[in-house]
A and B are shown apart, each in its own frame.
Chain A
Amino acid sequence: MSGPLRIAVVYPDLLGTYGDGGNGLILARRAEWRGHEVELLQAPSDGALPGADIYCLGGGEDGPQVRAARTLHDDGMLARRVAEGAVVLAVCAGYQIVGRSYPDARGDRHEGIGLLDISTVNGSGPRAVGEVVAETVEGAPRLPTLTGFENHGGHTTLAESAVPLARVTAGVGNGDGSGTEGALAGRVLGTYLHGPVLARNPALADLLLGWALDLGDLPPLDDGAALELRQERLGGVAGQARRRFRPRRRVH
């Protein structure tokens, strides 16, 4: 790869509702801390999507989600860059629209941009809201236990060419009855996890960076704060968070 690593946060004006813009920042810092030159681009929906090596799509509300999908489709850059090997991290509403089809608030079906062979419909039960714990499955890259927060009403079904990212041990995930969470095809990775997902799962961030930089093993970083957060989330919040008189200690 020549030139700086270009990371684009896609349509923060439409897909910026759940703090997922943090994923772009996290990828940028982790590359910079390892000495790579990085350009972090916020790409609003009223301009042409810039060419980038990594695209981050986040969660969004129903109306903006439809607008984002239509605009991405008309723009064409994302699909073009994916064909050329760009990496995509798509979260929640972003995950749904990179699939074949997804529903709006009324349940009407909309065409997605088809980067993942998945389709989403509205679930009949209550919204899936809460902590998710998931283990990566065979066929997906092996990662430490995934932790995140989900908030969606969609049920997502994977077709043949998409493999699930993980199997949920707590929470709902894809919600189609398969017990899976997220999906993966080539370098396009979709998930329902917020947190943002890369804040809680630095190994996932490094997986995406490794793809984009064509590097296998990245040198380790100081992930003390993230490891503590993971421990707290995976260990259950209740007992730990209310513990008082914790000994003082520098975080970094």
Chain B
Amino acid sequence: MRYRLARITTRTVNATSRRLGRGHGTVIGGRAGLKVDPWLLQRLSAGRRVALVTGTNGKTTTTRLLTVALGAGGGDVVSNETGSNMPPGHVAALVGAGRTTQAVLEVDEIYLPRVLSATSADVVLLLNLSRDQLDRTNEVRMVAGRWRAALAAAPHTAVVANADDPLVVWGAGAAAQVHWVAAGTRWHLDAAGCPACEGRISFGGDGSWTCTAGCGFARPAPEASLQFSEDASEPHRGVWADGRVHDISLLLPGRFNHANALMAAVAAEAGGIDAALALAAMSGVENVAGRFTVCPFGPAQARLMLAKNPAGWSELLDMVAGDDGPVVVSINARIADGADPSWLWDVPFERLGERVVVATGERFRDLSVRLHYAGVAHVAHADPVDAVAAAAEGSARVIDVIANYTAFNHLLAARS
């Protein structure tokens, strides 16, 4: 009875909130439903195959990729695609799911233990773990430790984990079944200390890593590896330890998106779907919640990219390093971004080199000082739309726009 009432509450509040123009209202409805029935997420998950996707970067994209991959096996797949990745968002997604038996849920890193125990997920994807939003959750090691304990207590859950990220390996290391994927990472700064002992992690040039104190903590042998090609005529590939090789061809750009697709393919395989079929389905995904979309801004064309933390920025700056068109960088420091933009100094903006750079966003002055010391000449505009227009002046190129979370959402809403 309580369960039924909770579902109705969630739906009603969501519908009301939508009518009032308060966005999707998913969080509000989910929260109301959980108030009526605290076990709502448990009940909604019962009888469904649930996959959880978590990690610092790439959650939303990978959730979308895995949803598409599982859909390739036939049947509907429900997912919390609006990006509300805590229990109220999960509840809202599942309440609207009808009889759909498969769910892929994006989960905030901190909430993984809670959501895992509520959903008894069949599969958990662990992408990467690095510093994010410093003033809210500053202990990435603590998060890895909590993952470890939660997964150790879930012997029926298959874990798909990035073997190249020591903190992820620590988090997954006590789980009963792990599919290790060599998905790569360009960011090692948060994993320099061995999570297993007092030693240090040393990274070899070939992708291997090991604890120098000899505690035995080292990179596990991957079941599948990403072979990312820098040469446009060569395809990117997933190479399985059992000898299989599959091309990974995506509309999404960047090494990290191909890594996400490979991890989704391995997760799909754990769910009984052929990896080649899963990869073929993912190749059609064009953009995820606006990310990587090329869209018009007045007379200009801009490609919108989201980076939320140094690891994400590092990947994106690498990706655009080969181009020479104008770049707009937009920085906010609202609660969802973290109120302290000191992390700008961990980002290798030096890679923007000689390009035309426009600094914008609510914290464009912090960015401007950072660029000044990086030796990157730039102009500054308080208003992001003006900034894109300024970058487009005298250039017919697609403008690369990289923004952090709320700055990205602002631009997404402002496109013409």
Contact = CB atoms under 8 A, between A and B. Distances in A.
Contacts of A246: 381-383, 386
B343 interface: yes
B214 to A, nearest CB: 13
Interface in B354-410: 359, 362-363, 365-366, 368-370, 372-373, 375, 377-383, 386, 390
A119 B200 CA distance: 28
Interface residues of A, number: 47
Interface string B317-358: 000000000000000000000011011111000000000000
A194 B344 CA distance: 12
Nearest to A22: B345
Question: Max chain A CB contacts within 10 Å: which of B135, B198, B372, B382?
Answer: B372
Nearest to B201: A13
B338 to A, nearest CB: 10
A199 B212 CA distance: 35
Given A62-B139, A245-B383, A229 B340 contact: no
Interface string A61-92: 11110010000000000000000000000000
A232 B365 contact: yes
A129 B372 CA distance: 27
A199 B380 contact: no
Contacts of B139: 61-62
A13 B379 contact: no
Given A245-B383, A245-B386, A246-B382, A226 B369 contact: yes
Contacts of A245: 382-383, 386
A228 B368 contact: yes
Interface stretch (A164-172, A176-184, A236-244): A236-244
A229 B366 contact: yes
Given A13-B192, A61-B141, A67-B198, A151 B135 contact: yes
Given A130-B339, A225-B372, A251-B359, A17 B383 contact: no
Contact of B362 (A29, A61, A241, A249): A241
B345 A252 contact: no
B288 interface: no
Interface in B180-215: 189-190, 192-193, 198, 200, 202, 212
Interface in B116-161: 131, 134-135, 138-141
Nearest to A228: B365
Contacts of B359: 251
A151 B134 contact: yes
Nearest to A250: B379
A46 B212 contact: yes
A211 interface: no
Contact of B342 (A29, A44, A195, A226): A195
A44 B192 contact: yes
B373 A29 contact: yes
Contact of B192 (A14, A151, A196): A14
Contacts of A22: 342, 344-345, 370, 373
Contacts, number: 118
Contacts of B344: 19, 22
A12 interface: yes
A252 B192 contact: no
B192 A248 contact: no
B365 A248 contact: no
Given A225-B369, A245-B383, A18 B189 contact: no
Question: Max chain A CB contacts within 10 Å: which of B192, B344, B365?
Answer: B365
A102 B371 CA distance: 35
A56 to B, nearest CB: 12
Contact of A248 (B190, B368, B390): B390
B138 A13 contact: no
A67 B197 CA distance: 11
Nearest to B139: A61
Contact of B363 (A130, A226, A241, A250): A241
A63 B193 contact: yes
Nearest to A221: B372
Contacts of B375: 29
Interface string A194-209: 1110011000000000
A191 to B, nearest CB: 13
A59 to B, nearest CB: 9
Interface in A10-26: 12-14, 16-22, 25-26
Contacts of A225: 365, 368-369, 372
Given A18-B134, A67-B193, A229 B369 contact: yes
Given A13-B189, A13-B192, A17-B138, A249 B200 contact: no
Interface of A: 12-14, 16-22, 25-26, 29, 44-46, 61-64, 67, 129-130, 149, 151, 194-196, 199-200, 225-226, 228-229, 232, 237, 241-246, 248-252
Interface of B: 131, 134-135, 138-141, 189-190, 192-193, 198, 200, 202, 212, 339-340, 342-346, 359, 362-363, 365-366, 368-370, 372-373, 375, 377-383, 386, 390
8 contacts: A13-B200, A18-B342, A22-B342, A25-B373, A44-B192, A195-B340, A241-B362, A245-B386
